[in-house]
Amino acid sequence: MARTEDLKARAEALLALHQPGNPVILPTVWDAWSAHLAVDAGFSALTVGSHPLADSIGKPDNEGMTFDDVLTRVAQITAAVDVPLSVDIESGYAEEPGRLIDGLLSVDAVGLNIEDTVHSEGGRLRSSGEHAALVGGLRAAADAAGVHVVVNARTDLFLRQDGDEADRVDRAIARLKEAADAGADVLYPVGVHPPEVMRRLTSELPLPVNAIARPDQSDPASYGPLGVARISFGPFWQAALAERSKELLARWR
């Protein structure tokens, strides 16, 4: 485990990369091999995605793996590459905020994604207040540990197509504003949004906004003008590699 001062510096470096209009690209990795690929390609920070990580160890996404499974793999990644790392911890694996923060810091991760779908409770959606309280608990635990862990608060309203589409953007903004007030650093209205929706999200939300991109299809230059501050790939990089691998392997069947 890195010293607290080193972890503090990594966390500060990760947060400083979030510049609205000049988005940091955080390739979403799942093991030491993919992390090496991304760092060797010139990326200065990474995020670990739960979906590709779960696939890589033969377990289902949506908390089919445990928090200890995640920590085992993250430790392998941070041992292999020396860049700031954020980790998707899904909805928290029914763990307490202190356990989540201490676990991440123990494997040298300095950021996290936390979502509002509670997989351990049948996939229900947390209320906005519940989600904000969890974000606040994570911030307090990080403060107690002496490291400003970068908290990326995610809402799944768009993925779930929750409620009436007419006011979904309004509800997502309200929900993420509560998370911001509770101590989040970055806000993640996960989903592929039309430009006018993304512009509204980035203009009305008070913190840097994370967008998801398909590395083989999306236009890298399109996100900055929309005010995006962070881009990650979710499961899409692994999926694109899988498709290319099928083509290669098909030649030998």
Beta strands in 3-134 (DSSP E): 24-26, 28-29, 46-48, 85-88, 111-114, 117-118, 124-125
pLDDT, tens digit, for every residue of 86-102? 999 999 999 999 999 99
Q: Which domain holds residue 65?
A: 4-250
The CA distance from 145 to 86, in Å, is: 17
Q: Helix (H, G, I), strand (E, B), or coil: what is residue 193?
A: coil
User: Which residue ranges of the chain lie beneath pLDDT 50?
Assistant: none
Cβ-contact 185, 207 below 8 angstroms: yes
pLDDT, tens digit, for every residue of 54-74? 999 999 999 999 999 999 999
Which CA distances in Å does 125 have to 89, 116, 129, 157, 219? 16, 6, 11, 9, 31
The model's pTM is 0.97
Query: Number of structural domains, the chain?
Result: 1
Q: What is the pLDDT of residue 172?
A: 98
Cβ-contact 93, 63 below 8 angstroms: yes
CATH number of the domain that 88 lies in? Answer: 3.20.20.60
226 conformational bin, left if phi > 0, alpha if psi -120 to 50, beta if neither: alpha
Q: What are phi and psi of 140, to 5 degrees?
A: -65, -40
pLDDT, tens digit, for every residue of 221-244? 999 999 999 999 999 999 999 999
